[in-house]
Amino acid sequence: MIDDTVNDGAPRNETADDDLPTMSEDRAHATFLQQLPLLVALVLLWMMLWGSVSVLTILTGIVVALLVTRAFYLPPVELSRRFNPFWAIAFLTRFFGELFVASFQVAALAFAPKGRSRSAIVRVQLRTRADIIMTLTSITISLVPGSLVIEVDRRHAVLYVHVLGASSADDVEEARHHTLSIERLIIAAIGSKAEWELVR
């Protein structure tokens, strides 16, 4: 979803293989710490799927989690180490509220007379440079009915959003504004200090 785009999309945080040894050791350590939440989540999921909490499920869970993260290696997620619970709750409330309202709007559109549902593809220039925030914004936009991310330009942090039921230039501007306000909420919740200052 975030990787291949119109551009060559060279990863910004590419780990160079020919780094100094000390550097790569640092990185290896950092990535293990960064991977820890993922490993814990995978073990929890494993226990959920088995429906039991026992030594056996925990041990097999750890083995499976390690295997999965080695076999399907993903670039480490870079978190900003900043978390604001107030904004996180604000974001979740807004997200579920929109999910609820928009679901019924799209449902109504489905039953509306034909020829009314026009749409638009809107280019949204995000202000963030963090992959995690771009990803979360895209997922949120895509989950809320009526909007869908059909193309991502990762290098320039641009989302192309397909908006259902847009009929005028005003609707296009509103969709752009809406996407940016979601991005702002996510930055407020988990973005770095610098980015939060930027969108404040």
Partner 1 sequence: MFDLEPWDTILDISSAVLLVVGAALSLAAAVGLIRFPDALARLHAATKPQILGLILIVIALALSVRSWAALLLLLPVIVFQMLTSPISAHMVGRSGYRTGAYDPDGLVADELAPDIEEASRSSVVSSDDDEA
Given 49, 56, 63, 89, the residue binding partner 1 (CB under 8 A) = 49
Nearest Cα to Cα of residue 1 among 129, 134, 121: 134
Given 38, 148, 180, 199, the residue binding partner 1 (CB under 8 A) = 148
Per-residue binding letters, 97-136, with partner 1 (x by CB under 8 A): --xx-xxx-xxxxxx--x--xxxxxxx-------------
For 124, the token pair is: 């949204």
- Total residues contacting partner 1 by CB under 8 A comes to 52
Shortest distance in whole angstroms from residue 179 CB to partner 1: 12
> Chain-centre distance of CA 107, in angstroms?
25
| Residue 165 DSSP label | T
Tell me the C-alpha distance between 184 and 196, whole Å.
8
Given 126, 134, 149, 189, the residue binding partner 1 (CB under 8 A) = 149
Q: Could you tell me if 149 and 106 are in contact, meaning their C-beta atoms sit under 8 angstroms apart?
A: no
Tell me the C-alpha distance between 79 and 30, whole Å.
12
Which CB, 1 or 194, lies closer to partner 1?
1
Residue with tokens 């020919």, as numbered in its chain? 18
Q: Could you tell me if 76 and 35 are in contact, meaning their C-beta atoms sit under 8 angstroms apart?
A: yes
> Does 143 interact with partner 1 (rule: CB under 8 A)?
yes
- Under the rule (CB under 8 A), what is the footprint of partner 1? 1, 4, 6-9, 45, 48-49, 51, 99-100, 102-104, 106-111, 114, 117-123, 138-139, 142-146, 148-153, 158, 160, 162, 164, 166-169, 171-172
